Every structure is written in structure tokens, then in C-alpha cells.
Amino acid sequence: MRHRSPQSFSPNHKRDAVPELAHHNLDIKRVAILFAGGPAPAANAVISTAAFSFLEEGAQVFGIKHGYSRLAEYTAAGPLCEGEDYIRFSHDTLINARSSRGIMIGTARTNPGKHVSSPEHLKDPELVAPLRRVYEGLCSLEIDALISIGGDDTLKTANKLKMFQDNLPGDARRFPVVHLPKTIDNDYSGIDFTFGFFTAVETLAEEIRNLNFDAAAGRAYFLCEAMGRSAGWLAYGAAIAGEASMVLSVEDITGALADEEVVNAETGATRKVMALERVIDRMVDMMLARERDGRPYGTIVIAEGMAEFLPAKYLEGVSRDDHGHINISSINLSALISRLIGERYTERTGKYRKVNGLQMGYEARCAPPQAYDVLLGSQLGVGAYRALVEEKLNGVMVSVAGQFDLHFVPFDDLVDPQTLVTKVRFIEQNSDFHRLARFLETCVDN
């Protein structure tokens, strides 16, 4: 393969850090690209630019369709079929793809590493069986590298697949794994902003702006539940850009808004939960403050991840997925909180105020990508090429900072070495971003 000159890197690139990372010596002639988890705007910018980078150098590029779903069943389901299980990229398939909607190779949430939660589990043939099937399926295509695109759960899988290969016999086939971070939630450690975040923020912000006028017309409130399982970036961004009256997220469940709930009477173990009555009262305080200013209407934005902090009685019978997450959609947090706000408002005032609960987020995941997300996604796609070909790295996540400068973050810096769980990046309390939301929302006296 003809390699691009390393001098094409930004002069600000941290080249002195590269020798500390895990290098390989393969000449990459066949590369696979896989996308897993929920959609995000600019997904095709990432996929198509990564594919283009390798096609330009004469490599074959395979797009694995629908995440790990088929690979995880490789042995039982037989050989992979071109067109159904994977596609071969060509320059023709990439025409006008960079700014297109959707995911050109599809996605799925299949988790082949769900039974592996410690390094010791990688030595258990039964626990690693799904990972082995993924490995064998990719080897059947004779790939020399895997580009993984997805959220924190997909990063965990990429790390486990690398570790699985590390434990193979010395003469076994190995291929490097590079991961590209994706989530509209923007809660990734190791990168400032993830592709699709700003498009998602603008999509939800436009909905909130529409709701502001609807609320004013009917002297009512809207309680908007935004996506964001682990952190409040999307809720905060949409609330600020949409001029919401108040925003709360998991980061705000602290101090007076937090309680402890006993989960095991024998051991005395507890978990942090929402002080639900105080959370509701804070929202009602805001409504009353707006009424005193002659504005008996507004919008409140909450992050869906607050459902994880509900008292246990609200979570009884709620199922969990392969990654251990509760089924948030079955709780309908917006309906619950809006009902409690309405009831509490009536208790405190003797009056009725309509509070409409609604869930937002799915409509943002395949919105037309904004230029910033296309730029960011394109640089990440090129970063996969540079990590694998120019730097010959394995087990790194591609990151972008500053003037779209590329950085390569080792999996070991992002994943707990004992639990193999990724590290969530929360909005820091009293950071300037957090204070911006507090400054712009309706003031509530504490």
C-alpha cells in the first residue's frame, strides 16, 4: 500500500505521544468498517471518509451491515453473504454520501461482549464465544484492520475484541482495532464534542422554540424529556439554544435534590436517588417566579437519564438491556414528572396549570447533519486511516481537539482495567457551561 506522508499531519499533532501506544506492523490491504448503537447525524461523513481514505490507497473496504448482529451468529449462520451481511465500498457508493442522512451500512445494538466483565472472563471459552464468532467472521473476510464506530458500549466491545486477540496463540491471525466515538449525548471521555451532537441540539432546540410559542398561547407548560442516559449535554444544549425556562439532568441530582435509598437491609447498602418532592418543588418554584413576572407559561427540559435515579417503587418490573441499562421508554419519565408538577402546583396554589409531558430525541438522530458535524465526522474518518496506516496503532480511539487536530487515545485511558466499563464524561458542576444554563434560565430563589 502506498502510504501518505506523515507530514500531512497538523503541526500541532502530539507526535511525541505516539511511541507510548501499541503499534503493529501489518500492511493494511483489506479493512472493515462497522457501526453499532443508535444513529447520529453525520454518521455517513465518518463512514464514507474512512472508506475513501483507504480506497484512495488501493485497499478493499468492507462495510459490515447492522453492527455486530450477524457477526455474533457467524458460526451457526454460515458464511457471510455479500450484499446481505456486508458491502464492498467503491468510489461510486460514496458519491454525495458525506452530508447524507441515516447510516449507509445500518446499525444494531447486539453486544457480543456482554458476558465479559473482567479480564479473567476472556479466558473462559463459553463467555468469549460471541467475541470468537465475531473474530472468526471478520477473519473469513481476511481483513487486516477493523474500524469500529459507536458509543461507549461499542467502545467496550472494541476493547474486548482487542483483548480477546491479545490472548490468542502467538501464531493466530490478528488485526488492529481502532474506534471512532459516536453519540449525540456527547458524554464521551477523551474528546470534547462527538459528531452529531450539535445537529441534535439544533433539532431539539427548534422543537423547544416552537413549544415556547405554544406554551405562551395557552398559558401552559411543556416538560420535555431529552435523550441523555448518562449525562446532560444534550438536554443542556437544547435548553440553552431553545431558550427553555429550566433544565435539569443527572448532574443536578446532588445536594438538596438527592437522597439515599436503602437497597439491602442486611448489608445497609444504599444508592443515590432523586429527592423527588424537592425536584418537583424546584420546578414549581420556577413556575411561580415566572408568574410573578407576568409569564404564566414556559418549557422545562430534563434528561432521560434521571429515570435511573427514581426511587425504587417507580422502577419495579422495569427490564434492562444487554448493557444493564433500564428500559427508559417504558417508564415515560416526562409523563410521570409532568403529572407530579401539575399536582404539586395545584397543592401549593389552589389553581390549575396544564403541564404537557413529551419525549424528544429520536427525531434528532437522523436529522440532516450540520456543517460542523460533517467536518468533525470527516476528520474522524480520516483519523482512522492515519491511526492505522501512518501511525500503525492498535487499541486507540481517534479524537479531535483545537483546530480539528487529531489525537489518538489508548483504550486503557478510557476503560476501567478491572470492570472493562468506560468512563462517562459528565457536565462538571459549576463549570462555565453549567453556569451558563443557570444564568440563562428563570431565576429560582434558594
| C-beta atoms surrounding 373 within 10 Å | 28
| C-beta atoms surrounding 406 within 10 Å | 23
Answer for the pair 66, 103: CB distance below 8 angstroms, yes or no. Answer: no
The string of DSSP codes covering 22-86 is: PB-----SEEEEEE-SS--TTHHHHHHHHHHHHHTTT-EEEEETTTTTTGGGHHHH-S--BTTTE
Q: Which residue's entry shows cell 480506497?
A: 55
27 is catalytic: no
Measured CA to CA, the distance from residue 101 to residue 97 in angstroms comes to 8
Handedness of CA 306, 308, 312, 318 (dihedral sign): positive
Answer for the pair 67, 108: CB distance below 8 angstroms, yes or no. Answer: yes
Handedness of CA 319, 225, 440, 400 (dihedral sign): positive
Active-site option among 152, 185, 252, 373: 185
Closest alpha carbon to 40 in 427, 394, 272, 380: 380
Alpha helices per DSSP H over 151-275: 152-166, 197-218, 233-242
Measured CA to CA, the distance from residue 154 to residue 37 in angstroms comes to 7
Closest alpha carbon to 398 in 387, 389, 413: 387
Closest alpha carbon to 249 in 305, 333, 310: 305
> What are the angstrom distances between the C-alpha of 73 and each of 69, 78, 396?
7, 8, 26
Q: Which residue's entry shows cell 417566579?
A: 289
Answer for the pair 134, 74: CB distance below 8 angstroms, yes or no. Answer: yes
> What are the angstrom distances between the C-alpha of 159 and each of 148, 241, 264, 331, 411?
10, 35, 33, 32, 6
Measured CA to CA, the distance from residue 178 to residue 387 in angstroms comes to 8
C-alpha R_g of the chain: 24
**Catalytic residue annotation:** 185
